[in-house]
Amino acid sequence: MTQDLLLPHFNFAVPMLLAATESVWSFFSQPGHVLALGLAAFGSSVGIGLAGQAAAGAWAKEARAGRNLSFTYIILVGMPISQTLYAMIVMNKVSGVLANAELAAANAGLLLGIGIATGLGEMLSAWMQGMIGAAGIRGLSDSEGKGLAFIIIAMGIAETVGIFTFVFLLGMIPG
């Protein structure tokens, strides 16, 4: 008799418990895509800031010398923004996985790891790219524009780390 009274409650509690467990795992998988974009945007901001400060100083130096202000610096200032775009693409793909609670719960650790790794990889790539750009701007200013191709190549190498991070981690997202 007691078993018959408990069975309906047990059958009702199990699905609720499973749903709660999925919610918990989904909660732990969600910060990944936010961290991917947030850390990448932080790195892009720092990189752009570093290169932008160097450009402002170079323009002031050129103005004092009576030279035309170099537009080339804008290219170097803007290059670190691409890492934020790469992270946004990863974030959007992870958001698709998060829409499926069961898939998100089953891959919570992986999704969190992908988000953190994407964010850190893109952040550091953009930051270092900005540092190279800042040094390059100072060098271009001192050499009156000589060496631009080498600076772009050096910045491209830093960009490649961001591209590798993007491509490899995008491929790890469960479908």
Q: Considering only CA atoms, which of 82, 94, 105 is closest in space to residue 36? A: 94
- CA distance readout (Å), 73 to 36, 128, 130, 160, 162: 28, 16, 12, 20, 21
The pair of structure tokens assigned to 84 is: 């934020």
CA dihedral sign, ordered 88, 166, 75, 35 = positive
The pair of structure tokens assigned to 147 is: 């060496």
Domain spanning 2-172: CATH superfamily: lithium bound rotor ring of v- atpase (1.20.120.610)
Q: Record the pTM.
A: 0.83
Any idea where the domains of the chain sit in the sequence? Answer: 2-172
Q: What is the pLDDT along the chain (175 residues), one digit of tens a residue?
A: 455 554 555 455 545 545 556 667 667 778 888 999 999 999 999 999 999 999 999 999 999 999 999 999 999 999 999 999 999 999 999 999 988 888 888 898 999 999 999 999 999 999 999 999 999 999 999 998 899 999 999 999 999 999 999 999 999 999 8
